[in-house]
Structure 1
Amino acid sequence: MAKIQTVGTVKEFMSGEWKLKKKEKAALSAMASISLYPLLLSKPAAAGALTGVITERTVTAFDPIVDLVLGISYPIGLIVMMCGGIVWMIGNKEKGLALITNAGMGYIIVQMVPLGMKMLVEVAKTF
């Protein structure tokens, strides 16, 4: 009966690392980490500028959708609040009050989220 010899993980087998000796693996990993070290630390100015342009274009591309949602939030909130008032008048006070409260909070959140996102984008630009 033949003995089964394990050579390591599937990843090592597929990459061919199992053919290398331990000294060669250590040397290759040290060389790879040393050669990539300056690239990881440095940030090219062109890449930073390009990232800023892409971010700005993406943010401005969604402005019409944001404006549409902001414009629609008032009529929808008004209709839901009026429905809540009607439900309250019918006799279901808890459900009516929940509709009015949720519509008011939803309207405030919809109006405030774009401001918060603009603030987050400005903070992200500093990094």
Structure 2
Amino acid sequence: MRAQSMSIREFMAGDYKKEKKHKRYGSIARRVGTSIAIPMILAKPAFASTTLDAVPVTAKEWMGEQTLSALAHVLDPVVDILVALSFPVASVIIVGACFFFMLGNSERAWSTITNASLGYVLIQVSPLILNVLKQVGNAV
């Protein structure tokens, strides 16, 4: 093996590795690429559609559909976690409200139980509400 001399900048950039790789595989890749490309260029398309069948879609429309689809499902994991945690949290809050009854503060107890129950119901119904909003958005 022959010793090579190079500057620190060349060594840190790693260009000496890339040059050998391109030289070794360049001719093989070129031969394989042309052997695949020529039949593909000369072949007649099997399912070519006419211009009358094609529906023109602009990049703006395509991106709009892709973005809406991604945004519609972005919060699904968060909603699933909230639905799963709503029962244990509501249970702890209601048990805490029962201590207010024991301490003689029944107004605060009833208000806490009412708020915990309402929060639990709304969290359980939130996936249904989100689906309705998504379908209304798709209809528009």
TM-score by length of 2: 0.54
Equivalent residue for 1:108? 121
Count, aligned residues: 84
Task: Give the partner amino acid of 1:100.
Answer: I
Identity among equivalent positions (%) equals: 26
RMSD: 1.7
Q: Is the 8 A contact 1:87 1:95 kept in 2?
A: yes
| Runs of at least 4 residues off by over 4 Å | none
Q: Structure 2: which 5+ runs fail to align?
A: 1-55
TM-score by length of 1: 0.59
SS of the equivalent of 2:113 reads helix
Q: Structure 1: which 5+ runs fail to align?
A: 1-43
SS of the equivalent of 1:61 reads coil
**Residues 45 and 124 of structure 1: CA distance in aligned 2, closer, same or farther (over 3 Å):** farther
Equivalent residue for 1:99? 112
Match of 1:51 among 64, 70, 74: 64
Equivalent residue for 1:71? 84
Larger radius of gyration: 2
SS of the equivalent of 2:73 reads helix
Distance between the aligned counterparts of 1:124 and 1:49, measured in 2?
Answer: 16
Q: Is the 8 A contact 1:52 1:125 kept in 2?
A: no
Task: Give the partner amino acid of 1:92.
Answer: N
Structure 1 residue 45, shift from structure 2 partner: 4.1
Structure 1 residue 117, shift from structure 2 partner: 1.6
Structure 1 residue 48, shift from structure 2 partner: 3.6
